[in-house]
Amino acid sequence: MVIKLLYALEKLCYKSSHTIIGLSPGIQQDIQARFPSCRVESVTNAANIELFSNTFPPPAGLQAGSYAIYFGNIGEVNHPGYLLDAASILLQQGRSDIQVVFIGEGQLKKALIERVSKERLINVLSLNLMPKSTLVRYVQHALASVVPLKPLPVFDTSSPNKLFESMAAGVPVIQTTQGWIKDFLNDHEIGFTVNAHNPKELADKLIFMKDNPHLSQEMGKRARQVAKKYFDKDYLADRMLDILKKVAHEN
């Protein structure tokens, strides 16, 4: 009953709107498909291009280009066990030279640390939340930024901030959703999509990237260029302003 009421409220809001703003192309497409008579635009989250484009030295204790990074909330939605499974596979394949670094907090952080200890995952490092100005260097020097989400269709339209910040830092992205992000990474050749049910795919991609540093570096350069073009806050603010001006002009 509650869900039906919420869908009815959604329909009322959309039908009463001049323009609907979706925070990702996937959200835009979903709304447009369900409400074809509505005008729907997409304005994504922005990345702090200036902050993430500044060059910093590698963080102490980590070798540049030798670790995958996950940063942000460590919760059920974020599928952290998938990264630990991949880390375990890397060790089994004799690739302890590739680390997995977690930075963040969340409801599964304690369980993550306990599993790392229990399974002796010596290639996993867990760090606490830190200021974004400090986080930048960890992201910049990563082999790849991993953006895993629980394999549910609802997340195929998602728009996680870490995606944009990783690109701004000039780092290839490996992710698991099957919607617009997958297409975007493929179209611009700035990352990979792997099966969220198969951690070996993630381990294999990390090995490939570690063993082909030139290709990884080229992907990172393209990622930064793409971030500057599509996700700069000034560009997105101008886009939003243009939409608002159009609404004002037509009303």
Q: What is the pLDDT along the chain (251 residues), one digit of tens a residue?
A: 788 888 889 899 998 999 999 999 999 999 999 999 999 999 999 988 989 878 899 999 999 999 999 999 999 999 999 999 999 999 999 999 999 999 999 999 999 999 999 999 999 999 999 999 999 999 999 999 999 999 999 999 999 999 999 999 999 999 999 999 999 999 999 999 999 999 999 999 999 999 999 999 999 999 999 999 999 999 999 999 999 999 888 87
pLDDT the model gives residue 27: 92
pLDDT the model gives residue 3: 84
Question: What residues have CB less than 8 Å from 187, skipping those under 6 apart?
Answer: none
Separation of alpha carbons 107 and 92, rounded Å? 28
Where do the domains of the chain lie? Answer: 1-43, 49-230
pLDDT the model gives residue 249: 85
In contact, 27 and 211? CB cutoff 8 Å: no
In contact, 142 and 63? CB cutoff 8 Å: no
pLDDT the model gives residue 190: 98
- For residue 70, which phi and psi values (nearest 5 degrees)? -125, 125
Specify the CATH superfamily of domain 49-230: Glycogen Phosphorylase B; (3.40.50.2000)
pLDDT the model gives residue 54: 83
pLDDT the model gives residue 194: 98
Lay out the sheet containing 144-147: strands in order across: 124-127, 99-103, 67-71, 144-147, 173-175, 191-193
